[in-house]
């Protein structure tokens, strides 16, 4: 299947996403920060990026910009629960920066799978 980078600082949610995507047959690389996208070896070897918006060190918006800089063709799914402000302000901006789809937390595992499959199709 696909190789997917999942970035989220919420350990419990990241673990659930990893489990769900692994059960679907995907290989998952995970990180609790967006800093991992600075490594061209990582971005060069994944088929999809799933990124939270609010994270320590390198936030999702910066991770999206860096991913698009390195691989403009790489599909990105941006996720957010809003954090310090309303989620409605983050996800549209993520789309303008290059995320091909967005998903508001909380979401059902099936919803994640559907979005991932659509982006990989």
Q: Which domains does the chain have, with CATH numbers?
A: 3-120 (3.40.50.2300)
Query: What is the predicted pLDDT for the residue at 34?
Result: 95
CA–CA gap between residue 45 and residue 54 (Å, rounded): 24
pTM of the model: 0.93
Pairing of strands 27-31, 3-7: parallel
Query: What is the predicted pLDDT for the residue at 61?
Result: 94
Q: Collapsing DSSP states into helix, strand and coil, what is residue 48?
A: strand
Q: Collapsing DSSP states into helix, strand and coil, what is residue 9?
A: coil
Query: What is the predicted pLDDT for the residue at 81?
Result: 79
The proportion of the chain whose per-residue pLDDT surpasses 70, expressed as a percent, equals 93
């Amino acid at each position: 299947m696909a190789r997917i980078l999942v970035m989220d600082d919420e350990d419990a949610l990241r673990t659930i996403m990893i489990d769900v995507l692994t059960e679907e047959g995907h290989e998952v690389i995970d990180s609790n920060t967006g800093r991992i996208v600075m490594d061209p070896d990582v971005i060069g070897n994944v088929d999809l990026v799933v990124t939270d918006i609010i994270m320590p060190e390198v936030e999702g918006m910066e991770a999206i910009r860096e991913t698009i800089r390195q691989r403009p063709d790489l599909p990105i799914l941006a996720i957010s629960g809003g954090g310090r402000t309303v989620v409605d302000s983050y996800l549209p901006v993520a789309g303008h920066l290059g995320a091909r789809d967005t998903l508001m937390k909380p979401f059902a595992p099936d919803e994640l799978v559907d979005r991932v499959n659509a982006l990989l199709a």
